Amino acid sequence: MTAPSTYGLSSQARNLQWLLTDLVEEVPGVNSVAVVSSDGLLLLSSEQAPDSGKADRPKGPRGASADLATIVSGLGSLTTGAAALMEFGAVKQTMVAMENGSVFVMSISDGSLLGVHATPDCDMGVVAYHMALFVGRAGHVLTPEVRSELRQSMENTP
């Protein structure tokens, strides 16, 4: 997993990074994960590192966490607008199944989003279940202070 260093981060921020790592490493078919703020900025990211021993797994969208964050932010905005037009209430989850993979987007809190890029043969129910667990655990921890801390951490990552 490629992620910013946890050195100097609060226990809440370290816990969120641990939850993200666990989601990627423990859920079959998950390639990469991104947490995006309401303004579209990447807060947390997980990318398949080339030397992680899982070279047979495909990388995330073009292998870049910024690409997944952009996709997650765009899908979140599009589906929120569609739900408002149709007067269906808040969007809970969006899933896009493609020939060579799937993208899931789930609301966390205050407009923040969790995005997952998965293999085409993943068990969508299992992925959605683990995303819901992440959201349940992360929602109350993702305060404005922690979001700011994570954003700074991502900006300082080489």
Nearest C-alpha neighbor of 32 from the set 103, 122, 135, 124: 103
According to the model, what pLDDT value does residue 23 have? 92
pLDDT in tens, 15-59: 888 899 999 999 999 999 999 998 888 999 887 444 444 444 444
Task: Provide the residue count of the chain.
Answer: 158
According to the model, what pLDDT value does residue 8 have? 72
Q: What does residue 34 show for φ and ψ, rounded to 5 degrees?
A: -140, 140
Output the furthest CA–CA distance in the chain (Å, rounded).
Answer: 47
Nearest C-alpha neighbor of 154 from the set 42, 36, 35: 42
According to the model, what pLDDT value does residue 109 have? 80
Predicted TM-score of the model (pTM): 0.83
What dihedral angle (degrees, nearest 10) is formed by the CA atoms of 139, 157, 2, 29? 40
